[in-house]
Structure 1
């Protein structure tokens, strides 16, 4: 491919290198010059353009990207249509990504113009997560380079191992004076981890923290796919009571300790071919730790051996270290305000067949007013409500509400317009935003407080979302300030789902009730909800 300026008359059929905008004529970068373009450009006294001239053996950028991506097509990985020389590979389910790193590296050494970028090996992904992207940098690349790059891709270059439903028996231990609240906290934390993986706790048993009692409990847990043990006292040796109880029960200890912090005191074993995981005390916190990596692999059907755990040390420093800022301390010192709520109430209620859903009353109170008042009872730092300035009825029912009303003047263009207006109107001290929907009647102040409690960007919880008992992610969702620009840049009516999926490594799910899934945007939804409410 040749790249450079040409006399205007010689640019016919070549690709425009730089966007052109003058006196109402717009030609986008990458546009193929046509005869009518030349005529219009001559009228503007343009004499030359910088273009890309393809050679006979060149492959156009989109065609090259699509051809190379086809070699990576795999189950549970969707290949997007090429655009501007880029093809994305998207997960169609939740699981663990495996890579052939040597093939990826070899691909990227063929030619600097032909690139692939991926998530790390063993990355946990959700449905919609981008796992890789192929980008052809110039407008075209030589055919022989495309062939060479394609040859570097193996059949198992990218594989997604899906989470499979499994059951577990959780064994909790207690010592003299051990607080019952710590038992409850430990069980809740394990359940929260389990629900996001499709792991069902078949049973929970609390026993004294002794070798014999633990061994007996392990024997009774034989019907589950795996056994989890969370001890009242940290396991400090391979011969401590919990590992010894495993051996007494007829099992085998395969690993004590791991080079991941937090998570050092994990131990791993097996009994009758089923895994047993000894959970370290840090599991009582929802923060990311080494146990998450082990459970993710087990749920995806991947082996976790002694050597596999040893390899986790590279990248295994998960806790705050002096070389990294510690925003938790900043928040505690009072330098950052509590998360601010952004309530979206600018929708046009098209699906309600003439009635406006936000004005329909519940217990004599319009839905939008009722939702706002419920959220105001939370510990959030403030409430802003995005409204459509053309809908004066919604604005009227919100009069006197202790909230800032934010007009979204282009609300009719879609949900993204409301997000953009709301983000741009946030108070400057807001360190995070909770985006809530006004048509969700069962969301409570407790749901908002649960998001705030789960928010911990220093430990991988920069986005916090509720998860219902059925495992589905709901609303509202909390976003750290680092995502304000991304949220404000969304387009159309799709909301922030794609952003959440792309940032799954920074997502924390907090268990909540089924109300985080209930939204009333059709007459049928209203009727069903009112009927269920009356019968409860």
Structure 2
């Protein structure tokens, strides 16, 4: 910051508001802090009685807050992120398409550890829709040193983008619905319509659904049939509890699939199973997926469709935030469920 004659201030940035008083009429800011002085402003400033101004001069190695925010946002933004602003010094980052939000939380921590730099986001690993605002960034002072901004940009470019949206695969989903009561026709299947709707929201299609009894071999054959038909993801519904008639986990094991996890620290969704059969994701979905708006399905399936191969550690990590509060009116995903 320095004081300079008004006539020399063109192109510099005001450090404070400049007030204009019209006796008996008004008192208010003629120019706001952060205003970039133009040729047309000189006469007005002289009329107000300002012969000298306190300004930041970009030529002195400082960057104005608007420019700094744009540079921070551009450095952090990966695929499918749009920038809006700056407005009052802040740039907002939004989703350019539907997909899985991925945030490099280590880079985010390092960035916010820099003095005078702020970058706030929503939680990572959630399905977001096009147009949703995901993050905002700004610097605290009116201007920051170029050296600080360069340091922040370097953090953003170390590894993966700090923030990105990964499009989801339009998967062919095969469903096996277990339960003798459904297979025999005693009750109507309610799981199939729910899964069709959920997968459609994520851009995928349930291409085939096979009803089976509680016989293990019948379930194994159905899973193998869907695999042979080219399913990109196989979901087995029902029979996931510890009831003696619930044989789905055993059937999934007997396919020869690689079991990642049986059980997840999430409520609803504790009896979830994740496996991979010849590279194809195979999930055992507990009944809560049919009844709850948000469940283990919403925490795991978008990540699978985004191309992530989940390991047990990713399932275990869901415990922090994995307790649904059962709000009378569900606000998911604008809540803490599944967020870390």
- Aligned equivalents of 1:11, 1:58: Cα separation in 2: 18
Question: Is residue 2:287 matched to residue 1:284?
Answer: no
- Aligned equivalents of 1:77, 1:181: Cα separation in 2: 50
Instruction: Identify the match of residue 171 of structure 1 among 157, 172, 176.
Output: 176
- Aligned equivalents of 1:179, 1:134: Cα separation in 2: 58
Match of residue 294 from structure 1: 300
Question: Is residue 2:153 matched to residue 1:150?
Answer: yes
Match of residue 72 from structure 2: 68
Match of residue 191 from structure 2: 186
1:304-345 deviation digits (Å, cap 9, x = unpaired):
22121011111111233xxxxx5x2xxxxxxxxxxxxxxxxx
Match of residue 324 from structure 2: 318
- Aligned equivalents of 2:288, 2:44: Cα separation in 1: 66
2:6 and 2:46 in contact (8 A); partners too: no
2:289 and 2:296 in contact (8 A); partners too: no
1:456-511 deviation digits (Å, cap 9, x = unpaired):
x2x325xxxxxxxxxxxxxxxxxxxxxxxxxxxxxxxxxxxxxxxxxx647xxxxx
Instruction: Identify the match of residue 261 of structure 1 among 262, 267, 270.
Output: 267
1:404-455 deviation digits (Å, cap 9, x = unpaired):
xxxxxxxxxxxxxxxxxxxxxxxxxxxxxxxxxxxxxxxxxxxxxxxxxxxx
- The answer for unaligned runs of 5 or more in structure 2 is 336-340
1:18 and 1:50 in contact (8 A); partners too: no
TM-score (norm 2): 0.82
Gap change, CA 1:114 and 1:10, over 3 Å in 2: farther
Question: Is residue 2:123 matched to residue 1:120?
Answer: yes
> Tell me, what secondary structure is at the counterpart of 1:246?
helix
Instruction: Identify the match of residue 143 of structure 2 among 140, 145, 162.
Output: 140
> Tell me, what secondary structure is at the counterpart of 2:118?
strand
Match of residue 217 from structure 1: 222
> Tell me, what secondary structure is at the counterpart of 1:82?
strand
2:100 and 2:125 in contact (8 A); partners too: yes
Runs of 4+ in 1 over 6 A off after TM superposition: 6-11, 47-50, 177-182
Deviation at 1:27, TM superposition (A): 2.8
TM-score (norm 1): 0.54
- The answer for unaligned runs of 5 or more in structure 1 is 321-325, 329-456, 462-503, 507-536
- Aligned equivalents of 1:310, 1:167: Cα separation in 2: 27
1:47-83 deviation digits (Å, cap 9, x = unpaired):
7999654472211112222222232242212233534
Match of residue 90 from structure 1: 94
- Aligned equivalents of 2:6, 2:203: Cα separation in 1: 63
Root-mean-square deviation (CA, aligned residues, Å) is: 3.2
1:61 and 1:136 in contact (8 A); partners too: yes
Match of residue 14 from structure 2: 15
> Tell me, what secondary structure is at the counterpart of 2:76?
coil
1:227-274 deviation digits (Å, cap 9, x = unpaired):
11111x442289951121123333233210000111101111121211
- Aligned equivalents of 1:32, 1:182: Cα separation in 2: 72
Gap change, CA 1:145 and 1:219, over 3 Å in 2: same
Deviation at 1:288, TM superposition (A): 0.5
> Tell me, what secondary structure is at the counterpart of 2:210?
strand
Match of residue 331 from structure 2: 460
Deviation at 1:303, TM superposition (A): 1.4
- Aligned equivalents of 1:306, 1:278: Cα separation in 2: 15
Gap change, CA 1:165 and 1:219, over 3 Å in 2: same
Gap change, CA 1:220 and 1:61, over 3 Å in 2: same
Gap change, CA 1:28 and 1:183, over 3 Å in 2: farther
Gap change, CA 1:67 and 1:209, over 3 Å in 2: same
Q: How many residues align?
A: 320
Q: Does 1 or 2 have the higher relative contact order (CA < 8 Å, sep 6+)?
A: 2
Match of residue 308 from structure 1: 314
Deviation at 1:41, TM superposition (A): 2.5
Gap change, CA 1:177 and 1:273, over 3 Å in 2: closer
Gap change, CA 1:215 and 1:73, over 3 Å in 2: same
Match of residue 497 from structure 1: none
Gap change, CA 1:176 and 1:79, over 3 Å in 2: closer
Instruction: Identify the match of residue 106 of structure 1 among 106, 110, 118.
Output: 110
Deviation at 1:177, TM superposition (A): 8.2
- Aligned equivalents of 2:109, 2:30: Cα separation in 1: 37
> Tell me, what secondary structure is at the counterpart of 2:282?
strand
> Tell me, what secondary structure is at the counterpart of 1:221?
helix
